[in-house]
Every structure is written in C-alpha cells, then in structure tokens.
A and B are shown apart, each in its own frame.
Chain A
Amino acid sequence: DAGVIQSPRHEVTEMGQEVTLRCKPISGHNSLFWYRQTMMRGLELLIYFNNNVPIDDSGMPEDRFSAKMPNASFSTLKIQPSEPRDSAVYFCASSLDLGARTEAFFGQGTRLTVV
C-alpha cells in the first residue's frame, strides 16, 4: 500500500484565495483525521471522520475552514478565504477504525503558505 497520500505537498497562495487540500487514506481504513502543525500551537486535531461521517469538528478554527469526505477513498480540507495566519503544515492521517488501540498513519503533509 502506498500509505496516506496528500496533495499538493506545497501550496503558496495569496490572502483571500480559496485553498483545497486533498487526502487519500489507506485502503480499508475507516477513520480519517486532519491535523494542523505550527511552531506556536504544535499538532492540533481539526476534524475527524468515521465511515465518511464527520464525528468531531470542534477543532476547526473558524467557519472559513470546511472538510468533506464524499467517499471512503477521498477527503478535502478547504479554506475560504485564506489568511496569512493559516500558514502551517496540514497532515491527514487514517486508521483502521476509531478506538484507542488503532494507531494513525500519517501522510507527508501539505505545507501551506498564505502571503
């Protein structure tokens, strides 16, 4: 298996533009997580899905952020409009299921720079 695949690896955009980050989880994994990593705040859980259904989005910072999972093999995280403070590395992770025993497998991340 190729692991969790994220695209793009790097994104540079201007303030006010819409940004869409993409994730393909590991085949057979039922849970998907979006994290944001910054120097100031570390690794923050934004939202997670189970069986394509959003379970907890309490980590999404503002209404400008939205996430979807239209099917088991694809998820998007959208920021509209983007702001410079959204600059961070965004990670997608997947696991077999929700539940404490199952570890999360991470993608390589998308480094977002908003100028």
Chain B
Amino acid sequence: AQSVTQLGSHVSVSEGALVLLRCNYSSSVPPYLFWYVQYPNQGLQLLLKYTSAATLVKGINGFEAEFKKSETSFHLTKPSAHMSDAAEYFCAVSVNDMRFGAGTRLTVKP
C-alpha cells in the first residue's frame, strides 16, 4: 500500500526566507504525488501534482516540488515566503485512492 511521511509537523520561517516542506513516499508502483494547502476553516486546495511528465513541478502561488526517485522524496519549496503562505500543507500519494500525510503547519514571521 502507498503512504507518505511528512517530516516536521511545524515549520516556521521569516517573511522572505526560503520555504522547504519535506515529504517522503512509499509505493509499490510508480506513484503520483500531490501537495495540497489548507487555510483555516477551509477545505484542501491543490497546489501542484506530479504525474511523471517532469520531475520539477511548478504550482500555484510560487510553489514548486521536485520528484526524486532515488530519495523517494517530493519536497515542496518556495524561494521567498509571504505572510499569506501561512497554512497547513499536506503531501499525498495516489494509486487508486489518495492517501495523505499528517500535514505540516507553516508559520511565517514578519
């Protein structure tokens, strides 16, 4: 069965600093991977997805993620954090159904 592990339940960065949220996956078949963002009292919104077309995937709001098969990783990055990026971020892996990681809460300090 497929699964994802998000390293770090809480990440805090200063405004303008690099954002790095870590995700490692486990799958017996080539995986499809996703990052979602959840703002308070909202549902999850898709940030980006990897479907094997390209290993570097660009998403909305300046986020991108790189699929590294050798490291079984799909880390999410953004060069410069903005206050509005404060939210919870979920990595997910899909074969037939979609399984989510535990989430990482991103705090952005002014």
| Interface residues in chain A, defined as those with a beta carbon under 8 Å from any beta carbon in chain B | 4, 33, 35, 42-43, 45, 48, 55-56, 91, 93, 95, 98-109
A106 touches B100 (CB 8 A): no
Q: 4 tightest A-B contacts by CB?
A: A106-B43, A100-B32, A43-B100, A106-B44
Q: Are A33 and B97 in contact, with the CB atoms below 8 A?
A: yes
- A45 touching B98, Cβ below 8 Å: yes
Would you call B56 an interface residue if the criterion is a C-beta within 8 Å of the partner chain's C-beta atoms? no
Q: A33-B98, A103-B34 are in contact. Are A42 and B103 (CB under 8 A)?
A: yes
Once the chains are docked, how many angstroms separate the CA of A35 from the CA of B44?
A: 11
Q: Residues 69-110 of chain B: 1 if any A CB is under 8 Å from the residue's CB, otherwise 0?
A: 000000000000000000000100011111111110000000
Task: Pick from B42, B44, B45, B95: contact of A100, CB below 8 A.
Answer: B95
| Of listed B44, B49, B90, B100, residue having the most chain A CB within 10 A | B44
Contact between B96 and A98 (Cβ–Cβ < 8 Å)? yes
Q: How large is the interface on B (under 10, 10 to 19, 20 to 34, 35 or more residues)?
A: 20 to 34
Q: Do the beta carbons of A101 and B97 come within 8 Å of each other?
A: no
Number of A-B contacts (CB under 8 A): 58
Give chain B residues whose Cβ lies under 8 Å from the Cβ of A42.
Answer: 100-103
Assuming A42-B102, A103-B49, is B42 touching A98 (CB within 8 A)?
A: no
B43, A45: Cβ atoms under 8 Å?
no
> Which residue of A4, A101, A105, A109 is within 8 Å of B32 (Cβ)?
A101
B46 at the interface (CB under 8 A from A): yes
13 A–B contacts, CB within 8 A, in A order:
A33-B98, A35-B100, A42-B103, A43-B103, A45-B99, A91-B43, A93-B44, A100-B96, A101-B32, A102-B94, A104-B98, A106-B45, A108-B42
Q: Among the listed B41, B45, B97, which residue makes an inter-chain contact with A45, where contact means beta carbons less than 8 Å apart?
A: B97
Chain B residues closer than 8 Å to A102, beta-carbon distance? 94
Contact B97 A56 (CB under 8 A): yes
Closest residue of chain A to B49, judged by CB? A103
Residues in A with CB closer than 8 Å to B45 are 106
**Residue B51 lies at the interface, judged by CB distance under 8 Å to chain A:** yes
Partner of A103 from the list B46, B90, B99, B102 (CB cut-off 8 Å) is: B46
